[in-house]
């Protein structure tokens, strides 16, 4: 027992003597929970939808009211035709279009069955399911209420998809997995690179040569990019050719977006590396950066459906832009030009993080 207690005491002491790491360890659960509550705590997550009302009567408006008051939807547009509504979903303005068919009011009044059509965005499977379920429930509520007034009738809720009919779970998770790989792996790999040189003392010799922090930062950036880009291409090729992951847009566009994400992750990692004193701190910081990325970049749920704070946080995260661009290319078949904004955001962030790393890196020993 003696040696065990001595070893426990030693390790506890060692942990307590690195205040920076300790702060991160203690702060992490708190920060993560706070972030989670801030982002996901609010009950209402209203999915933006388009309503296409082909009915000329007034009862359809009661259904629309019922949809609105369900709290599940936010009606962002009204479209005149089904094609127009579908196009808005296709463009990503709304996640679904709810189409109320012609003669809706008449059918109800005459006690016949009628239908509404939900046009779902299959590219976002979780949201589609949510929309579908909420639409069915809201319609049922409406039927219950309306039947007291108009007698028995029946509304059939029909399901259509764009980018569908159904995206397999492998396809829909590819973006998430690529996101994790492209964010966490290069970032944590490069995050320890400078602190490792500090710990092994090679940094002390290196900065005795006439090199600037610019040289050191870009030297690492380019070297790690060359090595990890090979990894990225292999992963992608494995997904597409071995697992048969479907890519609707151009593959080079997908590669370009992935490359931008990779470079951005490396630049974040470098900033961490430049600011950390030892490898443990660097590793912790990398994880610390990754958690909000996971929560607020659209891993589980599109950021638009979270709280305003979360949306704001999401706008800062490179992973948010990556997931958006990647999904749009892979599942919606968009081209690079369609996701140019996201690409620009990634490139800009990369530049900012690199510049910050150059500034933060001190050519001194402690």
Q: What DSSP string runs through 178-203?
A: HHHHHHHHHHHHHHTHHHHHHHTTHH
201 part of the interface to other proteins, by CB under 8 A = yes
Q: How far from 301 is each of 124, 125, 311, CA to CA, in Å? A: 9, 10, 11
1 part of the interface to other proteins, by CB under 8 A = no
SS3 114: strand
Q: Which is nearer to other proteins, 166 or 201 (CB)?
A: 201
200 part of the interface to other proteins, by CB under 8 A = yes
**How far is 120 from 128, CA to CA, in rounded Å?**
6
337 part of the interface to other proteins, by CB under 8 A = no
Q: Which is nearer to other proteins, 133 or 202 (CB)?
A: 202
User: How many residues of this chain interact with other proteins, rule: CB under 8 A?
Assistant: 14
Q: Which is nearer to other proteins, 117 or 207 (CB)?
A: 207
CB of 19 to other proteins, least distance (A): 13
Q: Are 163 and 119 in contact (CB under 8 A)?
A: no
Residues 209-238 that bind other proteins (CB under 8 A): 209-211
44 part of the interface to other proteins, by CB under 8 A = no
CB of 221 to other proteins, least distance (A): 17
CB of 222 to other proteins, least distance (A): 15
What pairing do the DSSP bridges indicate for beta strands 73-79 and 47-53? parallel
**How far is 240 from 344, CA to CA, in rounded Å?**
26
208 part of the interface to other proteins, by CB under 8 A = yes
Q: Which is nearer to other proteins, 215 or 315 (CB)?
A: 215
The gap from C-alpha 315 to its chain's centroid, in whole angstroms, comes to 10
Q: What DSSP string runs through 33-87?
A: HHHHHHHH-SS--PEEEEEEE---SSHHHHHHHHHHHTSSEEEEEEESSHHHHHH
Nearest CA to 331 out of 123, 177, 161 is that of 123
Q: Which is nearer to other proteins, 192 or 303 (CB)?
A: 192
Q: Which is nearer to other proteins, 10 or 215 (CB)?
A: 215
364 part of the interface to other proteins, by CB under 8 A = yes
Q: Which residues pair with 47 in a beta bridge?
A: 73
Q: Which is nearer to other proteins, 137 or 206 (CB)?
A: 206
CB of 360 to other proteins, least distance (A): 16
| Residue with tokens 């207690």, as numbered in its chain | 5
CB of 202 to other proteins, least distance (A): 5
205 part of the interface to other proteins, by CB under 8 A = yes
Of the residues 204, 233, 238, 308, which one makes contact with other proteins according to CB under 8 A = 204
Nearest CA to 330 out of 235, 230, 252, 260 is that of 252
CB of 295 to other proteins, least distance (A): 37
Contact residues: other proteins, CB under 8 A:
200-202, 204-211, 363-365
């Amino acid at each position: 027992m003696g040696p065990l207690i001595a070893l426990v005491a030693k390790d506890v002491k060692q942990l307590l003597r690195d205040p920076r790491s300790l702060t991160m360890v203690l702060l992490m659960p708190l920060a993560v929970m706070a972030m989670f509550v801030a982002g996901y705590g609010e009950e209402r997550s209203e999915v933006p939808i388009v309503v296409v009302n082909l009915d000329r009567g007034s009862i359809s408006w009661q259904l629309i009211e019922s949809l609105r008051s369900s709290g599940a939807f936010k009606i962002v547009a009204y479209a005149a035709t089904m094609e127009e509504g579908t196009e808005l979903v296709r463009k990503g303005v709304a996640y679904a279009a709810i189409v109320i068919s012609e003669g809706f009011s008449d059918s109800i009044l005459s006690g016949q069955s009628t239908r509404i059509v939900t046009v779902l965005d299959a590219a976002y499977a979780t949201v589609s399911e949510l929309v579908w379920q909420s639409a069915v429930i809201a319609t049922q509520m409406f039927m219950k209420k309306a039947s007291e007034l108009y007698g028995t009738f029946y509304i059939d809720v029909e399901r259509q998809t764009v980018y569908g009919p159904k995206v397999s779970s492998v396809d829909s998770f590819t973006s998430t997995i690529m996101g994790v790989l492209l964010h966490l792996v290069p970032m944590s790999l490069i995050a320890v690179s400078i602190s490792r040189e500090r710990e092994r003392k090679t940094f002390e010799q290196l900065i005795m040569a006439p090199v600037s922090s610019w040289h050191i930062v870009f030297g690492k950036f380019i070297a790690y990019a060359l090595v990890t880009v090979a990894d990225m291409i292999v992963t992608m090729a494995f997904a597409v050719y071995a697992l048969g992951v479907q890519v609707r847009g151009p593959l080079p566009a997908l590669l370009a977006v992935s490359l931008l994400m990779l470079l951005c992750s490396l630049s974040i990692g470098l900033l961490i590396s430049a600011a950390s004193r030892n490898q443990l701190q660097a590793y912790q910081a990398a994880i610390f950066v990754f958690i909000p990325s996971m929560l607020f970049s659209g891993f589980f749920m599109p950021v638009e459906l979270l709280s305003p704070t979360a949306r704001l946080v999401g706008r800062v995260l490179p992973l948010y832009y990556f997931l958006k661009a990647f999904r749009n290319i892979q599942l919606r078949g968009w081209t690079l030009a369609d996701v140019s904004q996201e690409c620009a955001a990634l490139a800009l962030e990369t530049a900012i993080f690199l510049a910050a790393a150059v500034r933060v890196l001190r050519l001194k020993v402690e």
